[in-house]
Structure formats: structure tokens, C-alpha cells
Amino acid sequence: MRKRSLGGLLAVPAWAWLAIFFVAPVAMVIWFSFGYKPGIFGTHANDILSLDRYVEALSPTFFATFVNTLWVGVLGTILCFAIGAPVAYWMAFKVRADRRGLLIALVLIPFWTNFLIRTIGWQVILAPEGWLSTTLQTTGLLNGPLDLMYTRTAVLIGVVYNYLPLMILPLFVAFDRVGPAVREASKDLGAGKVSTFLRVTLPLSRPGVIAGVLLVFIPLMGDYITATVLGGAKGNMVGQLVASQFQT
């Protein structure tokens, strides 16, 4: 009984933190969502409950933005997993333990640079006169300039680059916890490398997969910088929509 009561007391700060910084803000957002904006210069009022905000959110313009954001979020997360899983697998099973620290540092290097600067750097690469277009024209693979700027493709490239480390790291930790004995037992029973990965390694790494997906998908859905810098009007996402509401 004492252990249970002690455990409950130790959990009080965590519950208080969640209540103050998560539950309360969400409750406030829900409450404000039933309010209205009184006049052009009004900020917010809740003296009369209204569903106008929900009607506005489901209007064709806003709904198209939500769909585009979901499309970029889902596809960007899938691409991060498709690229990050092989990299994490290689780091966990094919690289010597004394070299993993260096590889983890290389994965984390992009985070040492400002998010905005990293994203603007892709403008230099994806612009019609940028490095990618110039290289493809020099090698004869293209006859004219390649203009990827202000397209969904540019937004996808940007979000995958910016959020890929957040997928690689939890996958690496999860793969590393799968002992070699388990994989060897699978091979001894006749399973090939692909079958062992799909039926043994990946299921045992499910917590890391879930963590990686959440770490990528959630911030990606609210991304504002990548959509603005690389997507322009064609990369309209919820983050830009929210920012525009504060600017008007």
C-alpha cells in the first residue's frame, strides 16, 4: 500500500504538468471555437455561443487546405519511414558499435542549424538556376531548366529533409534492442532476410515505429516555414492558414 501511495504522489507533478500545459489550453481552444469575432477590430467574444467557426472551417477554401495538409503529412511521414527504416536498420545491425556514435552525430547535424536557414538552403538547390537543375542540364539529362520551386514536390522534399532524423533515431533505438539471437533463430527456422525483418524485427520494433511516426507526423501537420518558403501559394497548409488569421 505504501508503494502504491508513494507512486501516486510521485505522479502528481506529471499530472499537474499535463493538466496545466495540455488539458487547460485544449479546453480553452475548444471554448473559443464556439465564440465569434465582434466586428473588424474585435478580438473574441463568447457571450453568444456560435458554430460559425466550424462552418467556416468546413468551407471549400479551408477544407481544401486541410486536405492538402493531410496529404502532405501522410505522404511525408511515409517517405520518412521508407528512407529512415533502411538507414536505421543499417546503423543498428551493420555498423560496428564504436562507430555508431559518429553516425548518430551526423544524423543530428542538421539540427545544429536553424530550421529556417535549412529550408531556405533548398531554394538554392531547387530553383531553375539552382544546383540540381544546372547539374541535370550539364549531364544532358534535361534540355531546359528544372523548376521545382513553389510546388508540392518541393514541400515534400523539404519536410522529408527536415523531419527525417526524427524518424531515424527512434527506429535505430528500437532496432538496436532486437537481440541478434532472435534474428538468428528466425534464420535457423528457414526465414530469409526480408521475412525476418517483416515478421520478427519490425513487429518487435513497433514502439519505435509508432514513436517515429508521431514525432514526424504531428509537427509536420503544423509546419509553417517549409510550406511558405518552398511551397508558396501551391503549398498552402494549416500552419499558413493559422498564421494568416493572426495577421488579419
Name the amino acid, one letter, at 88: A
- Sign, CA dihedral 52-58-63-66, equals positive
Q: Residue 121's closest CA among 132, 136, 135, 105?
A: 132
Range list for CATH 1.10.3720.10 in the chain: 59-247
Long-range contacts from 30-34, C-beta under 8 angstroms, 24+ separation: none
Q: Determine the Cα–Cα distance for residues 155 and 150; give it in Å rounded to an integer.
A: 8
Angle at which helices 60-93 and 206-221 pack, to 10 degrees? 140
Q: Residue 45: helix, strand or coil by DSSP?
A: strand
* Residue 109: C-alpha distances to residues 104, 114, 115, 142, 162 (Å): 9, 11, 12, 32, 11
**CATH number of the structural domain 59-247:** 1.10.3720.10
- Grid coordinates representing 227 are 510550406
Residuewise pLDDT in 10s, the chain (248 residues): 555 666 677 888 899 999 999 999 999 888 888 876 665 455 666 667 788 888 888 888 888 899 999 999 999 999 999 999 999 999 999 999 889 999 999 999 989 999 999 999 999 899 888 888 888 888 888 888 888 888 889 999 999 999 999 999 999 999 999 888 888 888 878 888 888 888 889 999 999 999 999 999 999 999 989 999 998 766 688 888 877 776 65
Query: Bridge-partner residues for 122, per DSSP?
Result: none
The C-alpha angle with vertex 12 and arms to 16 and 9, in degrees rounded to 5, equals 170
